[in-house]
Structure 1
C-alpha cells in the first residue's frame, strides 16, 4: 500500500518527512520517518541509511533528538527511521505494561509464540516490506544501503546485517544489546516472542550469528562507559570476543563518561554517518 505523508518540513536544504502506510507484515498501520537530502530533492537517487531505535522509542526519537540531518544533507544520505513495534487496536502488549516487552519493544524479530505471532513481525517488516516501499516511493538507491541502531535497535542492526550478507555496505551501533541470549532484556523478549527453545533464539543474537558463521566486512560500535545498562544488558565484550575469534574487524570505542541517552547519540552520530558514507562510496 502506498505511503501517506503525514508531515514534511524543510531541513538543511532537504526535507524531513513522517509517513504512514498499511503493513501487510504486521497487519497494522506503521509510521516511519524519512529525511531526503537536498540531492534527492534535486532529482538524484541517493544511498539509504537505516536507523533502528531502542526500547520505548518510535520513529520520532532519532529524527528529533539525534541531529543527524545536517551531516546527511552534506553527504547526500537518505535516512529512514522506522517505528519499533506494531501498534493499534488489537495489538497485544505486555500484561504488566513493562517497557521492555510488547509495544515499543518489538526486538526486530518475527514472533512465533501466541499472541504475538500475528502482529509482531518486525524482522520481515524491516528486511523486506519497508525497503520495497521506500525503494518504490522515495529516491532511494537500494544498491547502496547502510544500517545502524541504538540499544535494542543496535541489536537489530547487527543481526539484520549479519543475516543479509552483501546487502549493507556498512553497519554500526550505539550501545547495542550484543547478546540477547545472555542478558535479562533479551531472555525476556526472545522467550516471550519465540518460546523456550533457545536454539531458535540464535538467529537474533549477533554473537551467536558470528559464532555460527555469519560475517560482515567490519563493524563500528560506540559504547558509553557511564551507561547504566552496560554490565547487565549490553555486554560489548561478548561481541568483541566473537569478532576477534571470527576475524571481523570491530572498531569498539568506549566513550568515557557517556550514558545511554540521545545526548550520547547526538555527540557521535556524525562519526557514524561518515563511516557509512565512506563505505557506501566504495559500492
Structure 2
C-alpha cells in the first residue's frame, strides 16, 4: 500500500492510497479521511462511501464536504474507486458500463469477470485492509453511497449485516433489475439469468431477508434528472412489507448531483452516529 496524496483537513488528513488488489487483478486506489482522533491512535467509527457512475476515489472527498462534521464526530471516511482501472481492464461502449461503472457486484461473464469483482473488493479485501491498517472501531462500521453507489451501499449492507451496522443512501438505484441502467449492467456482468440478478437488487434483498437495521435513511431529490431509473417507491413498498424501518425523505427542487449531497451530508453523518452507538 502506497500513500500518493496527503492533505491536512480539519485537523485530520485526507489521503489517497494505491495498492495491488487481488480481487480486481490490478492496481486500485481509495481515499480515506482520518480525523485527529484516528491520527492519535484512538479507534474511531468508520463509514464506507460508495460513489456513483463515472466517479473515482477522489470525488466524494472533493465534492461532498463531509470532512468538517466527520472531524467533529471522529469518523473515518473510506471512499473506494467505482471500478477496476487500467489498459488491461475491459471497457464498455458508454459511460454507464465498464470502467467507472462497476456496480459493486462480482461479474461472472467474460470479459468482465477477470477484473470486475467489486463486491469482493469492497466487502472483503478493502474492508479487511482498512481495519488492519487504520484505527478503526471494528464494531462500528457503516456504509452509504450515491446513485450506483447507493445501490451498492444498500445491497452490501443487506448481504453483510455482520460487517455494516448502519446504512443510508442518496438517490440510490433501488431496483436495478427493473431499470435501464441496471438491466444493461447486469446483462453484461451477470448474463441473462434475471433470477440471479435478484441477489444484487436492494428491493429484492429486503423482501428476501426482512428487517436487518433499526432504520435506513434515503434522501431523494424530486427534480432528479434520473428519477425514472431510481424507483424509491419500490424499495419503500418492499421495506413496508418486510417490516424494515425506512426514512425516505423527498426534497422539492433538488437534482441528482453533489450540491444535493452537500445539502444533506450532515444529516447522514449524524444518522450514522446514532445508529452506530446503539
Q: Same fold (TM over 0.5)?
A: yes
- SS of structure 1 residue aligned to 2:249: strand
Q: Distance in 2 between matches of 1:7 and 1:215?
A: 40
Q: Distance in 1 between matches of 2:30 and 2:261?
A: 19
Q: Distance in 1 between matches of 2:174 and 2:27?
A: 30
Please name the residue that 2:71 is paired with.
73
Instruction: Answer yes or no: is the 8 Å Cα contact 2:175–2:202 preserved in 1.
Output: yes
- Please say which of residues 200-209 and 163-172 is displaced more in the overlay: 163-172
Unpaired runs of at least 5, structure 2? none
TM normalised by structure 2 equals: 0.98
Please name the residue that 2:190 is paired with.
194
Unpaired runs of at least 5, structure 1? none
Please name the residue that 2:217 is paired with.
220
Query: Of 248, 251, 261, which aligns to 2:257?
Result: 261
Q: Distance in 2 between matches of 1:214 and 1:147?
A: 18
Instruction: Answer yes or no: is the 8 Å Cα contact 1:162–1:214 preserved in 2.
Output: no
- SS of structure 1 residue aligned to 2:61: helix
How well do the aligned residues superpose, as a CA RMSD in angstroms? 0.8
Alpha-carbon offset, residue 75 of structure 1: 0.2
Alpha-carbon offset, residue 64 of structure 1: 0.2
Query: Of 106, 109, 123, which aligns to 1:127?
Result: 123
Alpha-carbon offset, residue 214 of structure 1: 4.4
Please name the residue that 1:167 is paired with.
163
TM normalised by structure 1 equals: 0.96
Q: Distance in 1 between matches of 2:230 and 2:102?
A: 17
Instruction: Answer yes or no: is the 8 Å Cα contact 2:52–2:148 preserved in 1.
Output: yes
- Please say which of residues 11-20 and 161-170 is displaced more in the overlay: 161-170
Please name the residue that 2:60 is paired with.
62
Q: Distance in 2 between matches of 1:196 and 1:211?
A: 22
Aligned length: 277
Please name the residue that 2:136 is paired with.
140
Instruction: Answer yes or no: is the 8 Å Cα contact 1:56–1:105 preserved in 2.
Output: yes
Pairs within 5 Å for 1:91-130: 91-94=89-92, 96=93, 98-130=94-126
- SS of structure 2 residue aligned to 1:58: coil
Q: Distance in 1 between matches of 2:163 and 2:251?
A: 29
Instruction: Answer yes or no: is the 8 Å Cα contact 1:163–1:214 preserved in 2.
Output: no
1:153-180 CA-partner distances (Å, limit 9, x unpaired): 0000000000112322210000000000
The question of 1:47 aligning with 2:56 is answered no
- SS of structure 2 residue aligned to 1:221: strand
Moved over 4 A (4+): none
Q: Distance in 2 between matches of 1:85 and 1:41?
A: 28
